[in-house]
Amino acid sequence: MRPAHPTERAVGMEYYVSDADGVGGRLRGSDDQFRVRELERFDTEPVDADPDAYPHLVFRATLSGWDTNDFAARLSDALGVSRERVDWAGTKDKYAVTTQLFSVYGTDPGDLPEIAGVTIEVLGRAGRGLEFGDLAGNAFGLVVSDPDDPERAATITAELASFGGLGDDGDGGDGESTSIGVPNYFGQQRFGSKRPITHEVGLAIVRSDWEGAVMAYLGDPADAEPAETQAAREFVEETHDWTEALERFPDRLRYERSLLHELAECTGEPGPETFRAALERFPSNLQRLLVHAAQSYAFNRMLSERLERGLPFDRPVAGDVVCFSDTDAPDGLALPDPDRTQCVDERRVGSVTRHCERGRAFVTAPLVGTETELADGEQGELERDVLDELGLEPGDFDLPGEFHSTGTRRAILVRTDLELEEDPLTLSFALPKGSYATVVAREFLKVDPVCLG
C-alpha cells in the first residue's frame, strides 16, 4: 500500500493497494484507445409493436467524441422533444468510443437523426424507458500510451490478485486472464478530472448552503482550465455580478451559464430560494449527481480509513454489513445487489466469508442517505468517524425534489478477470455497473489522474 496522487487524495482515494511502481504512460491517446461496451439486460418488443402499448423506442448507439448528456441533448433537439424524454441506463464520458442503450418516448425509427460520430442500431420498443437498474456492467478495452516500463504490469497484477483474496494465479500476460481485486473507489471523473468540485457542490447542498453550492460550481478556478475560464470564475467570485459574468463565461459552459441566467433575472440580492432555483434549472440527473458526489466522497473516505486500519476487503469482520449477488447478472459478472443485505455478527463471520470467497457476497460501506443504518463493530466506528469529520448525518439528505436521497450500500471490493496484451499494452476487463475502469487502471499507471482522462 502506498500513498496516492495528491489530486486523488483530495477526493478521498488515499492509497494504491499495489506497492510496485506504475507502468507510467496515459490513457485515451485517442478516443478509440478507450472502449466501453455496456453489458445489457433489457428486453424489447419488435420495432413494429403497438406504439401505444410500447411507446419507448430503444436503440443501441456507438458514440465517438460524445458524452451521454451532450448526446441526449443533441438528440432531443434534433427530434424537437424535451430532453427528459430521452433515457439511458449508464452515463459515459466524451473521450472514448462507447456503445450503450438509449430509449426515447414517442419517437419512430425514421425520426432518428444522423449525427456525426454516432452509429445507431434500432433494437425495438418497450413499455417503459431505460433505468439505471437495466445496466448490469461494462466491458472495457484500455490502451496505455507511452508507458515507461510496461513489464511492471505483471507484478502489479499479482499484487492485485493477492489483495482480492485470490492469490497469485498468473500474471495476466500475453492474453492470459487473471482474477484481480481493487478497492471499489469512485473514480476521479465522478468529481471532475480537471476540476474536482462536484462533491464540494454536493456537500454544500446537503448542508442546505444553496449559495455556497452555486459559488462552488461557478467559482473555484482550476489550473487545468483555459485562462479565459479561470478569469471568468475569478470575476464572479470577486463581484457576484451575474449579468456581466454571463458576458465572460464561454458558451460551452452551459451549466454555469444556466445558473447565471437565473441569478441575473433576480431583482435585488438573491436569497437562498433563488440560489436553489438556479440549481434546479439543471437536468434532473445532474441534480442527483451532485448529491451522489457528496455521498461518493464520504464512501471513498471510508474505504481509505478501512485500508488504514488494516481491515480486509475480501471478507467480513464482525459488525460488517454484506450484500449478496444479483442472480440475474450476465454470466461471468459478479454483480452486487445492495437491496439484499445482512449484518454479520460474530457467529456468521465464517459462513459469510465462504460466500465472499465464492463471489456470492460482498462487504459494503454506505452511500449515506435518509434510510442509512450504519454498520456495527469497527466498520461502524469508522463510518461514524468519517461522517463526523464531514459534519454529516443521514437526516441531512432529507432534501427537496431531486436532491433528496434515501441512500444505499455499495461493495467495497470489485473483482474482475483481467487480460493483459502487449505492444501496445492493453488492459481488458469487465466491471459491474457503477464501478470505474480508471480505478483499475490507476493501480497500473500510478500517474496524475489527468492522464487517466
The C-alpha atoms of residue 81 and residue 43 are separated, in whole angstroms, by 24
DSSP state string for 143-168: E-BS-S-TTHHHHHHHHHHHHTT---
In this structure, what are the phi and psi dihedrals at residue 371, rounded to the nearest 5 degrees? -100, 10
The C-alpha atoms of residue 321 and residue 365 are separated, in whole angstroms, by 7
Q: Which amino acid is at 107?
A: T
**Cell numbers representing residue 46 in the block:** 419488435
What is the torsion angle, in degrees rounded to the nearest 10, for the CA atoms of residue 130, residue 131, residue 136 and residue 142? Answer: 80
The C-alpha atoms of residue 451 and residue 83 are separated, in whole angstroms, by 32
**Long-range contacts (CB closer than 8 Å, 24 or more residues apart) made by 153-160:** 153/23, 153/420, 153/425, 153/444, 154/420, 155/18, 155/20, 156/18, 156/20, 156/22, 156/23, 156/443, 156/444, 157/418, 157/420, 159/17, 159/18, 159/19, 159/20, 160/17, 160/18, 160/418, 160/443
Cite the active site residues: 93
Number of H helices, E strands in the chain: 13, 15
The C-alpha atoms of residue 264 and residue 242 are separated, in whole angstroms, by 5
Beta-carbon contacts of 70 under 8 Å, excluding residues fewer than 6 positions away, are 94
CB 190 within 8 A of CB 182: no
| H or E segment to which residue 289 belongs | helix 284-308
In this structure, what are the phi and psi dihedrals at residue 381, rounded to the nearest 5 degrees? -60, -45
The C-alpha atoms of residue 101 and residue 95 are separated, in whole angstroms, by 18
- Residue 195: is it exposed, middle or buried by C-beta count within 10 angstroms (0-12/13-18/19+)? middle
**Cell numbers representing residue 40 in the block:** 445489457
| H or E segment to which residue 291 belongs | helix 284-308
| H or E segment to which residue 292 belongs | helix 284-308
DSSP state string for 311-332: --SSS--TT-EEEEE-TTSPTT
